[in-house]
């Protein structure tokens, strides 16, 4: 495993936000949802394509807090601009389990 300096990690801006919209994304090559996530007044609402269909349904995601990298360059996925990377971990079968705070925190809070 390659090691990095603390300064390298500090360049990655990971914030918490609340999902305000979620819908299926049939144009994506792999099953995914289009999400809109509110990261508070400093960052605002951003879009993301997330391959989280194994454990989550769109209606269950609304109001849920998630962790995301907010300072990667936007990516175009099947005509949709994904502005943030929603973070998760693989379960035993390879499905994604979302990373999120275990208590409600203010949207826009930065991981440290």
pLDDT, mean of residues 57-82:
97
Q: What is the pTM of this model?
A: 0.94
| 84 occurs within a structural domain | yes
Look over the chain and give the mean of its residue pLDDT values, rounded to a whole number.
Answer: 97
| Alpha carbons 61 and 22: distance in angstroms, whole number | 7
Which CATH number do you get for residue 36? 2.40.50.140
| Alpha carbons 30 and 2: distance in angstroms, whole number | 29
pLDDT, mean of residues 53-75:
97
| 42 occurs within a structural domain | yes
Q: What six digits make up the tokens of 16?
A: 């918490």
Q: How confident is the model at residue 42 (pLDDT cuts 50, 70, 90)?
A: very high
4-19 pLDDT per residue, tens: 999 999 999 999 999 9
Domain hosting 61: range is 13-98
Domain tally, the chain: 1
pLDDT, mean of residues 75-92:
97
């Amino acid at each position: 495993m390659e090691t990095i300096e603390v300064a390298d990690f500090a360049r990655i801006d990971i914030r918490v936000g609340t999902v305000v919209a979620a819908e299926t994304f049939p144009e994506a090559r792999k099953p995914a949802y289009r999400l809109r996530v509110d990261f508070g007044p400093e960052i605002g609402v951003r879009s993301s394509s997330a391959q989280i269909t194994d454990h989550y349904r769109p209606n269950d995601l609304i109001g849920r807090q998630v962790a995301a990298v907010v300072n990667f360059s936007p990516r175009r996925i099947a005509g949709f601009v994904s502005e943030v990377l929603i973070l998760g971990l693989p379960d035993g079968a390879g499905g994604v389990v979302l990373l999120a705070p275990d208590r409600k925190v203010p949207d826009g809070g930065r991981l440290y």
